[in-house]
Amino acid sequence: MAKLGPTFGDELWAAGVGGLPFSWGDDGEFFGRENLTAEQNKKIDAVVAAHDPSKKPPPLIDVDAIETIEDVKAALRILTRPVR
C-alpha cells in the first residue's frame, strides 16, 4: 500500500472522484472501493500512482499580503467558508 499525504483528497477532487462513497487511511488502505465502478477505480488508481505523499498543501492565506483591515476580513472569510 502507498502512503497517502495531505493533498490526496484535493487530488481526488481534481480527478473527478472526490466525494464518492469510499474512504482511505494515511497508510493507503481504502474502504468502500468495491462499491465504485471500474472507471472510478481506474481514476483513483491513477491518482494514487501520481501522488506525492510529501507534498504540502498551499497555505490558505498569504500572511505577507495582509496590509489592511479589508485584507484581514477577506482572510477571515476564507477561513470560515464551508468545507465541501
Pick 49 or 77 by higher pLDDT.
49
CA distance 76 to 83: 14
Residue 84 has pLDDT above 70, yes or no: no
Would you state the pLDDT for residue 16? Answer: 96
Overall average pLDDT of the 24-53 stretch: 95
**Nine-digit cell string for 52:** 506525492
**Any idea of the CA torsion for 10, 13, 19, 22, to the nearest 10 degrees?**
-70
Residue 44 has pLDDT above 70, yes or no: yes
Residue 65 has pLDDT above 70, yes or no: yes
Going by pLDDT thresholds of 50, 70 and 90, the confidence category of residue 63 is confident
